[in-house]
Structure 1
């Protein structure tokens, strides 16, 4: 079992959203948000299918117990509703690195500052609390919207892994791998804050 680098329960509090540790009590409400098939078109596992949703989110809890993942639900502060999920995974404390992914939010909040605020909360925790050397992000190589979003927060393209994942429909996907390093964090942070300001949802700690 890996050392649990991220203590439970870790909650990341923002201005518009809080990132709260995933619990089984969240499953029913979270699945209602996840049932929109459009959310999963560019993600390898289609969690709009209820059996797959429960299987994958049960696995996320067991992986948290093993120290391999740390899944969050995204709670909208104003409405109190769960509007998505994100997580830390590929967690390697000895190498001071991890990955951020499995991120989705309901369509109502697409194009807002919500995803940027989530990334700010996650990356701030990584670099300023965990003192990570490296944070990895990846997306389907043809998901240019996601790739552009990663680049706009300071992600540096490292390459494309061909046939990196088998999707739940049996096809394979290539994955574009990005990273942000500790010495790049201040620049990345400034980029995120500027974009949040432009969307008129300023972030306050």
Structure 2
């Protein structure tokens, strides 16, 4: 079993959201949020389908026990509703590196501060608590919206892995890989905070 780098439970508290550890009791409510097929159009597994949802999220719980993943649900502070999920995975304590991914939020919160706040909480935890050297992010090579968002928070493009994943429909996906390193974190953190402030000003 892999060394458990992330202590359990880890709760990350933000301004509009909290990231809390995924538990079995969250699955029913989380699936209701995940059942919108549009959320999964650019993600390899279509978790709007109940069988695939159960498979992937029950696997995430067992992978946490093995020290391979740490899944969170995103809870909206004002409504107390679950509005999405994210996780840490590809966890390698000996190399002080991991990946942030499997992030999705309900359409109601697209274009708000939620995704930025989610990334700020996770990256702050990774670099300032875990003392990671490297945090990796990836997305489908043709998902230009996601790629632009990663670049805006300081992600450095590293290249394309061709036919990196087989998707739920049997087609293959090329993946665009990005990373943020420990000595790039302060600049990235400033970029994220500026973007959050801009969005807050637009809605105030």
Shorter-chain TM-score category?
Answer: over 0.9
TM-score in terms of structure 2 length:
0.98
Instruction: Provide the C-alpha distance between the structure 1 equivalents of 2:165 and 2:156, rounded to a whole number of angstroms.
Output: 21
Other structure's SS at 1:120 match: helix
Residue of structure 2 in register with 1:45 after alignment: 45
- Where do 5+ consecutive residues of structure 1 fail to align? none
Residue of structure 2 in register with 1:68 after alignment: 68
Residue of structure 2 in register with 1:149 after alignment: 149
Where does 1:1-205 land on structure 2 (aligned, <5 Å)?
Answer: 1-200=1-200
Instruction: Provide the C-alpha distance between the structure 2 equivalents of 1:152 and 1:14, rounded to a whole number of angstroms.
Output: 20
Instruction: Provide the C-alpha distance between the structure 2 equivalents of 1:121 and 1:56, rounded to a whole number of angstroms.
Output: 23
Shift of 1:157: 0.4
Other structure's SS at 1:142 match: coil
Shift of 1:83: 0.1
RMSD: 0.9
Instruction: Provide the C-alpha distance between the structure 1 equivalents of 2:151 and 2:195, rounded to a whole number of angstroms.
Output: 12
Instruction: Provide the C-alpha distance between the structure 2 equivalents of 1:4 and 1:14, rounded to a whole number of angstroms.
Output: 24
Other structure's SS at 1:74 match: strand
Instruction: Provide the C-alpha distance between the structure 2 equivalents of 1:4 and 1:85, rounded to a whole number of angstroms.
Output: 21
Instruction: Provide the C-alpha distance between the structure 1 equivalents of 2:10 and 2:200, rounded to a whole number of angstroms.
Output: 28
Q: How many residues align structurally?
A: 202
- Following TM superposition, the consecutive aligned residue runs of length 4 or more in structure 1 with deviations greater than 3 angstroms are none
Other structure's SS at 1:200 match: helix
Other structure's SS at 2:154 match: coil
- Where do 5+ consecutive residues of structure 2 fail to align? none
Instruction: Provide the C-alpha distance between the structure 1 equivalents of 2:173 and 2:10, rounded to a whole number of angstroms.
Output: 32
Instruction: Provide the C-alpha distance between the structure 1 equivalents of 2:89 and 2:162, rounded to a whole number of angstroms.
Output: 21
Instruction: Provide the C-alpha distance between the structure 2 equivalents of 1:200 and 1:106, rounded to a whole number of angstroms.
Output: 19
